[in-house]
């Protein structure tokens, strides 16, 4: 029975659910980083401290906040200047500055706007090199 389900393909020729294009990117490093940020299963201190009791969940950059995706993407002092382009984009488009919008998890936004946000996020990821810590 399960082999029939796994071996069957949907109308697009893919097995199972296919993520929308706003959630995918052609480079595997980018895709892995986006997935880790969205799922909150990553190498940030908040997650690692749940596995390793010796790890401090606070930000490695000296902030007194829990180091999670929300903190890294919205309030970490280390990235204050790096937020400026994406924050301006959000202001210009009257978008709420929050991690769910930044990560493309707000499905009430149009697909074209989600793609623009994703492109801004990818630029931020590479400009800050957060892929090294996520």
Query: Residue 21's pLDDT is what?
Result: 57
Q: What is the pLDDT of residue 28?
A: 86
Domain-embedded: residue 5? no
pLDDT at 23: 58
User: Has residue 63 been placed in a domain?
Assistant: yes
Tell me if 120 sits within 8 A of 85, measured CB to CB. Answer: yes
Quick one: which H or E segment has residue 74?
helix 69-74
41 domain residue, yes or no: yes
Question: What is the structure's pLDDT at 48?
Answer: 96
Domain assignment present for residue 9? The answer is no
Per-residue pLDDT at 27: 81
pLDDT in tens, the chain (134 residues): 333 333 444 444 444 445 555 555 568 888 899 999 999 999 999 999 999 999 999 999 999 999 999 999 999 999 999 999 999 999 999 999 999 999 999 999 999 999 999 999 999 999 999 999 99
13: Cα within 13 Å, side-chain hemisphere: 0
Domain range spanning residue 119?
Answer: 21-132
Domain count across the chain: 1
């Amino acid at each position: 029975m399960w082999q029939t389900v796994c071996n069957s393909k949907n109308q697009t020729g893919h097995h199972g659910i296919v993520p929308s294009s706003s959630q995918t990117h052609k480079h595997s490093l980018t895709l892995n980083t986006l997935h880790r940020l969205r799922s909150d299963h990553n190498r940030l201190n908040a997650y690692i401290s749940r596995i390793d009791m010796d790890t401090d969940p606070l930000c490695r950059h000296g902030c007194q906040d829990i180091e999670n995706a929300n903190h890294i993407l919205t309030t970490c002092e280390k990235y204050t200047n790096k937020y400026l382009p994406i924050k301006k984009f959000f202001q210009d488009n009257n978008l709420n500055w929050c991690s769910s919008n930044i990560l493309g998890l707000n499905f009430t936004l149009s697909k074209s706007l989600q793609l623009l946000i994703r492109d801004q996020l990818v630029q931020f990821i590479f400009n800050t090199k957060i892929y090294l810590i996520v």
